[in-house]
Structure 1
Amino acid sequence: MESLSSSTFLPAATIKPHPLSSRTKHKRCPCSMKVVSTFSYQNFVQFALDETKLLTPDLTPSYLQDDFSTLKAVDGKTELKMCSFQAPKIRLLRSLSIEQSDGMQVLDLAVFPEAEFDLPIFCANFFTSGNTNIVVLDLNPLHDVINETPYKQKYYRSLIPLGLKYAELLPWGGKLTGESLKFFSPIVIWTRFSSSHEKHDILFSAFTDYYKAWLGLMNQATKETDVSQISLNREAQHRYLTWRAQKDPGYNLLKRLIGETLAEDVVKKFLFNGVNELGNKTFLDYFPEYERGDGSINEKRSVVGKSFENRPWDAQGVFIGDTFG
């Protein structure tokens, strides 16, 4: 069964492994970059930073910037550029971008709210290689939007027209595992397309519209004071981070680029920072269905035997796929 998996994002011949890697620290944030004229995911990062600073002038660099700024890949040519920020409502805004001379590009940009806010998590995962583009763009729900109507109505009701617009321009990209779907919203963009100026322009437009939509939600969000609700928000974000850190489709690419040890640091300490800080539950505590008889984790992408080849939400944002546990 096909699914959104590591192999989906990572062609086997992308890069050859090498026994050496190096880390370079820069005090100056690598996100302070000059916007280039050709298609580049760095333009997306710069847009997100500029728009966030307009709405949140007190956006400041995160402490993570000291350890995660620039990594030199083992091929001696490729650089991984990382930056991270925080603000009163933003626990972490971080990005990882990779560009190679052969045209391969990666962008992983996310914004995680503080636990006092039940805001969705902004998520942009883009991969480009040759003529292939694989895209996931969403405002990932912090709480259930398949079975629980109030949270869906609170954050997504007004955004359904935006989702419908881009669902037509960037059609559903094929089979997606049922487990992964639980972390996506009714407006998720999951697509594949061949490279063209038109498609890249549409993708940039989608990114800017979705990011501005997220900023609008953040601007309106009020701080939660109920301790029990804050605890629920924190656990929901920790569950999300635990899933993503274990199932990250870019991990194999990172291992090829910088080696296994650094790749694990980037995934658990940077990309999904909080997995070791926001809670104590393990992956199997949250997802016991993945436990093998010997207590280890089943590495299969899906264990429920269900995937969705077509978009499983209707025009009103109602989930129309078969129900699953």
Structure 2
Amino acid sequence: MTPSLPTHPCSLDPVTLPGWRWGPFLDHAVEALQPLRPEAYPIEPRFLRREGLTGSKAHPVAVTTSTWACRTDKLRQVRAACVEAGMAASVLNFVANPSSNFDLPFFGADLVTLPSGHLIALDLQPALKKDQAHTIRVWERLVPLWENWTKLLPSGGPIPSEAEPYFSPGFLWTRLPLGEQGDELIRSAVFPAFVAYFDLYLQLVAEATPVEEKRCEELLAGQQRYVDYRAEKDPARGMLTRFHGAEWTEAYIHEVLFDL
């Protein structure tokens, strides 16, 4: 079950989606964030929980999209977009957006179940890919984790060349089949990899110290490029549009998921 949280505005309310596959992952992240004393991140009520239908008129499938979000003194926004639509889709998109006052990468996790299988992506994503001062201390600690877990999981295949600047050398990307084999790999490899990646991220957050104003401006510009790219290329756009309509989806992408 999702850990109990203090009474607070509803962006910190626990996510409850019956049958949702990815609950234990969000549970771990929420609990791991508690020492940082998270506060609710402001989100309009219309984006906190949205229900709809997909499938045919003869066989409709209920869809629920919920949002969990917080902020801390070093993280501008930590948010989870959670979708449960039975056999049609089960999704957790979890992203930690750092404050530009600290030289930190983004944390990103995409955990997706579709009728074709499971799509898993984990990374500590750079704001300034070609800046060694920003990346080398992260890569030195992240790549050994990637080496440990990638050998247990099949490759997800190539990524578009235009996307490469927004991923790290520790980008863990895999496709798993539905059924017992995929479920076992999620338990034995994907979940502990998620824990290891997020624990490393929180260690980096704990160690981060404020940067000077010029560096802050460089980081903010890099973060803006990342957020703009993610908003433009969000692979969930088509799915969310089918579930909830184009107007709500575009507002959700730009005002919640990638709101910088």
RMSD: 2.1
Q: Deviations over 1:109-154 (max 9, x none)?
A: 100001101211000112112360111110001111xx44333322
Query: Is residue 31 of structure 2 the alignment partner of residue 46 of structure 1?
Result: no
Distance 2:259 2:121 in 1: 20
Greater relative contact order (Cα < 8 A, sep 6+): 1
Match of 2:52 among 49, 54, 73: 73
Q: Give secondary structure in 1 for the equivalent of 2:43.
A: helix
Q: Deviations over 1:211-240 (max 9, x none)?
A: 11100100100111x211110111100000
Higher fraction of helix: 2
Query: Is residue 246 of structure 2 the alignment partner of residue 260 of structure 1?
Result: yes
Match of 1:56 among 33, 36, 59: 36
Q: Deviations over 1:157-198 (max 9, x none)?
A: 122211101121123211211110110011101111113332
**CA gap 1:89/1:255 in 2 versus in 1, 3 angstroms:** same
Distance 2:10 2:219 in 1: 33
Q: Give secondary structure in 1 for the equivalent of 2:155.
A: coil
Match of 1:187 among 146, 170, 180: 170
Q: Given that residues 65 and 81 in structure 2 are in contact (C-alpha distance below 8 angstroms), is that contact kept between their aligned partners in structure 1?
A: yes
Amino acid in the other structure paired with 1:208: V
Provide the residue aligned with 1:214 in structure 2: 201
Provide the residue aligned with 2:93 in structure 1: 108
Q: Deviations over 1:228-273 (max 9, x none)?
A: 1110111100000000000111100010010000000111011111
Q: Decide which structure has the larger Cα Rg and report it.
A: 1
The list of structure 1 runs, each at least 4 consecutive aligned residues, that deviate by more than 4 angstroms after superposition, is 33-36
Deviation at 1:74, TM superposition (A): 4.1
Provide the residue aligned with 2:231 in structure 1: 245
Distance 1:131 1:241 in 2: 28
Deviation at 1:39, TM superposition (A): 7.0
Q: Give secondary structure in 1 for the equivalent of 2:112.
A: strand
Length-normalised TM-score, structure 1: 0.70
Provide the residue aligned with 2:58 in structure 1: none
Distance 1:265 1:233 in 2: 25
Which has the higher mean CA deviation after the structures are superposed, 127-136 or 113-122? 127-136
Distance 2:161 2:33 in 1: 33
Q: Given that residues 128 and 222 in structure 2 are in contact (C-alpha distance below 8 angstroms), is that contact kept between their aligned partners in structure 1?
A: yes
Q: Given that residues 42 and 97 in structure 1 are in contact (C-alpha distance below 8 angstroms), is that contact kept between their aligned partners in structure 2?
A: no
Query: Is residue 17 of structure 2 the alignment partner of residue 32 of structure 1?
Result: no
Deviation at 1:66, TM superposition (A): 3.9
Unaligned runs of 5+ in 1: 1-25, 275-325
Q: Give secondary structure in 2 for the equivalent of 1:159.
A: helix
**CA gap 1:66/1:100 in 2 versus in 1, 3 angstroms:** closer
Identity of aligned residues (%): 25
Q: Give secondary structure in 2 for the equivalent of 1:63.
A: coil
Distance 2:200 2:257 in 1: 22
Q: Given that residues 31 and 46 in structure 1 are in contact (C-alpha distance below 8 angstroms), is that contact kept between their aligned partners in structure 2?
A: no
Q: Give secondary structure in 2 for the equivalent of 1:73.
A: strand
Query: Is residue 140 of structure 2 the alignment partner of residue 157 of structure 1?
Result: yes
Paired positions, count: 243
Length-normalised TM-score, structure 2: 0.87
Higher fraction of strand: 2
Provide the residue aligned with 1:125 in structure 2: 110
Q: Given that residues 121 and 142 in structure 1 are in contact (C-alpha distance below 8 angstroms), is that contact kept between their aligned partners in structure 2?
A: yes
Q: Given that residues 143 and 151 in structure 1 are in contact (C-alpha distance below 8 angstroms), is that contact kept between their aligned partners in structure 2?
A: yes
Unaligned runs of 5+ in 2: 1-7, 55-60
**CA gap 1:229/1:149 in 2 versus in 1, 3 angstroms:** closer
Which has the higher mean CA deviation after the structures are superposed, 153-162 or 252-261? 153-162
Query: Is residue 184 of structure 2 the alignment partner of residue 198 of structure 1?
Result: yes
Amino acid in the other structure paired with 1:170: L
Distance 1:168 1:143 in 2: 28
Query: Is residue 72 of structure 2 the alignment partner of residue 87 of structure 1?
Result: yes
